[in-house]
Amino acid sequence: MNTTMPPTYTAFLGDRRLGSGPLHELAVAVLRAQQAQPEASVLVFSDASGRSTDLDLRGDEAAVAARYTEPAPEPAAPKGRGRPRLGVVAREVTLLPEHWDWLASQPGGASVALRKLVHEARRQGGERDRRRLAQERAYHAMSTLAGHRAGFEEASRALFADDRERWLVQMAGWPDDLQAYLLQLADTATG
């Protein structure tokens, strides 16, 4: 049973956060905002990546919501080889002969040894990887929302230097909603 939450998105109407949530709900809010203020600029961002996304707002609210509602997952078809209950997926790996020889000599064989190596690499680099992804996520949104603002270059440097205090100082004159969203995206716990 897949219990993962659907991806969330955030929309900005100018410098003000319009809302956040699943794309089908946010698309309707964006449609309403554009109907109320046709000249207003609305930007929508994936909270997972920080990248902007375009919406197709043709039709009424029901049509827009339906366009962005994810269909219910179909039951999984029986799979062939592997261990489907564990989520094992067979893929090709290209290695040099000496690597295959080393893997074959490991207890449990190549698959077990590769899984152990991946787990260890994830454990050792996990926080560093989460930090890098959070910085990239914040930077994508920041460059779109604040690339024209005073302090953007220095804020970018501070973000990637992991200097939170200097980053906050550089963003101090930016709108509150913008600062709050960028801080949310830079938080490693939200990614």
End-to-end alpha carbon distance in the chain = 22
Residue 160 CA, chain-centre distance (Å), reads: 17
What phi and psi, each to the nearest 5 degrees, are found at residue 21? 155, -170
pLDDT on residue 128: 86
State the CB neighbour count (10 A cutoff) for residue 115.
12
Residue-wise pLDDT for 139-191, tens only, equals: 999 999 999 999 999 999 999 999 999 999 999 999 999 999 999 999 975 55
Q: pLDDT tens for residues 141-152?
A: 999 999 999 999
pLDDT along the chain (191 residues), means of 10: 74 96 96 94 96 95 92 63 65 83 84 82 80 95 97 97 96 97 85 54
pLDDT at 81: 58
pLDDT number for residue 118: 81
**Strand pairing category for 52-53 and 16-22:** unpaired
What is the pLDDT, as a whole number, of residue 30?
A: 96
Looking at residue 1, its pLDDT comes to 46
* 14 dihedral zone (left: phi>0; alpha: psi -120 to 50; beta): left
Q: Give the whole-angstrom CA distance, residue 27 versus residue 136.
A: 25
Amino acid at 191: G
Give domain limits for the chain: 8-67, 92-190
Q: Which pLDDT value is given to residue 77?
A: 59
Residue 45, beta-bridge partner list? 10, 52
Report the chain's mean pLDDT, rounded to a whole number: 87
pLDDT given for residue 16 in this prediction = 96
